[in-house]
Structure 1
Amino acid sequence: MESGFLSAERSQGLIPQFMEKVLHLLNKYGRCSIPVGESITVHLKVTVNISEPPPVLDHDVPILIRDRVRPHHEWDLTTQQVLPYIDGFNPTCRIAVEADVEINLVKSCLQNLLHYNIIKIIPVFQYSNMYTVTSDIKKLYSDLQEQCVLSVAIKGHTLPRLRDIMTLYTSMTNGVTVKDLCCRYNPHGLKIDEKKLIQFGVVKNLIRVLRKYPIVVPSNSEPDPRLRSLYSLFDGLHCLDEICCKVGIGQSELEERIENDPNVRVCMK
């Protein structure tokens, strides 16, 4: 409007060139600064719609997925307290206790780190967990060979063979727990750290956890009195990890009680 760029007759031949330049720069860089006349520059930028990260739950386990993060002193105080306890094994509720930070502040901090793609949320590691491979397992032979071998090796030992790593991954299926896998193959004898194996597989989406969801199915049998107070959580929407965190009970103990209660079934998904 100030220079009459769109309305002046002298500009008619310049407008197509201007529009082509805008299109090219926005597609290539997402922004542009184009001079129009002697004293005016048009600044344009494509805004990115970043979705809000999902809420972090008590039983969620954060893991750093960047090799380099900002220096410790550049973070806010809460993040400085929380970062040392993010190891891929501590769930959110434990991080809050260890860092001596109120759990809602820890969740907000982790959600912020998720937003900037610094961490990823993975399931709690337990030997009673069951996993299954995904279609991305083929990446192990194309893009991830060296990284995987280095990541799952036992510290201080020679590197494991890729064939043994693949054998362990492809043996993961419904009905086979991590404990079963260790008893059958002895990962340490293959120079493989089973915890790091699971961690790497989940982060790279080579495997996914099969979660257990208890569901109350009323029957004429007498319910276990120790479980009656938990029936409200046995609706197929709360997994065992979440329930264990909420009520402060070990998963093996809860599974034993569920197994002895004829009114409860477990759905795997």
Structure 2
Amino acid sequence: MTDGSLPALYAIQYSEFDIRKGAYVYYETAKTNFSEERQFNWIRNFVCPEPNLKDKLIVLTIDNQKLLGCPVIISDGEKYRNNRNEFRFNACFIVPAQADALKYEVAVRKLATYLRTLEIDSCFLTNDILKQEYLKPALDKIVKQMNENGQQCSVKMYSSVFVNLKLLEQQTEPPAIASSDVPMFCNNIDLSDLEQMDQMTQRVIASIDGLRHVNKIAQDTDTELALVKAAMQNLVYHNVIRLVPIFSYKNRYIVTPKIQKLYTDVSLQKELVFFVVRNGAKDCATFYECFSMICAFDHGSLVKDVVNKMKANNIDEKKLVQYCVLNDYLRRVRDYRISLDESVYINTNNLHSNGTSDGNDPSKSKIKKTLRDLCDGTNDSDSLACLGYIFNSRLIPTARKSTQQSLPPLDSYITLWK
């Protein structure tokens, strides 16, 4: 990302290839590090390169400036018979060296596409009069508007042709995906967009229902967990899904300050009621019923306590909770287990230097060590559940497979809620 004191775009450098002069700069909106003849001689073979680099994003850096271009080659034996039957050009952006190239890529490619179309249709770039009258002023305006209008522009290039360019907003990297995360759609998916996605992403999307967690989706689709996480991370990055905690009637939630926005916005209220109504309900839920149920959550109440208290038969409590978490009206109060007695998991007196115990299976000792490490206050009950450990209503840990290992008594743990 560029520094706030630096312009988004220093200049645009338009270059062509001539059979006598080779690659040369036809016009540059301002002098840059790439303007000097010696510097340009170093990069000329990349600015107007051989066909193997055409339509590829070219990124070059000299000192504190970076050049980004997309070389174009138009082949036409009749039209360009005096120039080796082809025409090569490149309209390059000169930007700060620390700028992210991905932010400019779409704009660079789009400008190249505009110029290519104008040349094919109107000989825009091979006619010196048109270039002098239209191209140079248009490039100047693009740079000016890019720096003044929030890194976007709309400039008349020629006749009725307008060039509309915008730099991409730099997005933060998506968070790491946990096995216990539950994906929920936050935007509608266009069927045409779905067809363009890879088969892995399509398979993952078909399994998203707002209740199944990542580990469950991997099991149901018979797919490696790492591949499912990668697909989820990509969907989060493109704002298709958001991640919420696993739903359970033993969960605890608390109302957030954003509930005030829901209370005052009628459109949000209608959306809430439409989303949370129970399938097959005889009576439509009202916003008052939904809002009362949301406000019933506090630190001490489990979901099942709220459901039993409200007795709202026309409201699907699963949809209500997940929807409210997705929109930050409710926040999950998570429970973290902290072990107080490490000797329960590993008896250091019976361990050899290689980490195995006398007369016991090494794999069992490894399982015990893993469980001890997990109960360190950093893994909540959802994470432990995905690994095969569950906690009953008395917070006593229980392995799903009774033969897996014996687990410590209640007084070996404390539970941290946050």
Q: CA deviation at 1:115?
A: 0.8
Aligned to 2:178: 57
Aligned to 1:244: 385
- What CA distance in whole angstroms lies between the structure 2 residues aligned with 1:162 and 1:42? 48
Identify which range, 127-136 or 174-183, moves more after superposition. Answer: 174-183
- What CA distance in whole angstroms lies between the structure 1 residues aligned with 2:373 and 2:30? 66
Aligned to 1:11: none
Q: CA deviation at 1:27?
A: 5.4
Q: CA deviation at 1:172?
A: 0.6
Aligned to 1:263: 412
Of 330, 340, 351, which aligns to 1:217? 340
Name the TM-score, length of structure 2 as normaliser: 0.54
Residues 73-222 of structure 1 aligned to structure 2 (within 5 Å): 73-143=195-265, 144-157=268-281, 158-188=283-313, 191-218=314-341
Aligned to 1:14: none
- 8 A contact 2:183–2:213 mirrored in 1: yes
Q: 1:186 to 1:74 in 2, by over 3 A?
A: same
Q: CA deviation at 1:4?
A: 7.1
**Aligned-partner residue type, residue 414 of structure 2:** R
- What CA distance in whole angstroms lies between the structure 2 residues aligned with 1:4 and 1:98? 58
Aligned to 1:13: none
- Greater helix share, structure number: 1
Aligned to 1:231: 372
**Aligned-partner residue type, residue 58 of structure 1:** S
- 8 A contact 1:130–1:175 mirrored in 2: yes
Q: 1:35 to 1:170 in 2, by over 3 A?
A: closer
RMSD: 3.6
- What CA distance in whole angstroms lies between the structure 1 residues aligned with 2:30 and 2:204? 55
- What CA distance in whole angstroms lies between the structure 1 residues aligned with 2:29 and 2:316? 67
- 8 A contact 2:145–2:153 mirrored in 1: no
Q: 1:224 to 1:22 in 2, by over 3 A?
A: closer
Q: CA deviation at 1:207?
A: 0.4
- What CA distance in whole angstroms lies between the structure 2 residues aligned with 1:183 and 1:69? 39
- 8 A contact 1:214–1:240 mirrored in 2: yes
- 8 A contact 1:211–1:268 mirrored in 2: yes
Deviations 1:175-207 (A, max 9, x none): 21001111212221xx11100110110111100
- Greater strand share, structure number: 2
- What CA distance in whole angstroms lies between the structure 1 residues aligned with 2:257 and 2:139? 46
Listed as ranges, the gaps of 5+ residues in structure 1 are: 8-16
The percentage of counterpart residues that share the same residue type is 29
- The answer to whether 1:67 aligns with 2:193 is no
Q: 1:146 to 1:44 in 2, by over 3 A?
A: closer
Deviations 1:124-169 (A, max 9, x none): 0000000001010012222311001111111232221212211111
Q: CA deviation at 1:77?
A: 0.9
SS at match of 2:184: strand
Listed as ranges, the gaps of 5+ residues in structure 2 are: 1-24, 32-137, 347-366, 399-407
Q: 1:134 to 1:18 in 2, by over 3 A?
A: same
- What CA distance in whole angstroms lies between the structure 1 residues aligned with 2:157 and 2:270? 52
**Aligned-partner residue type, residue 255 of structure 1:** L
Q: How many residues align?
A: 256
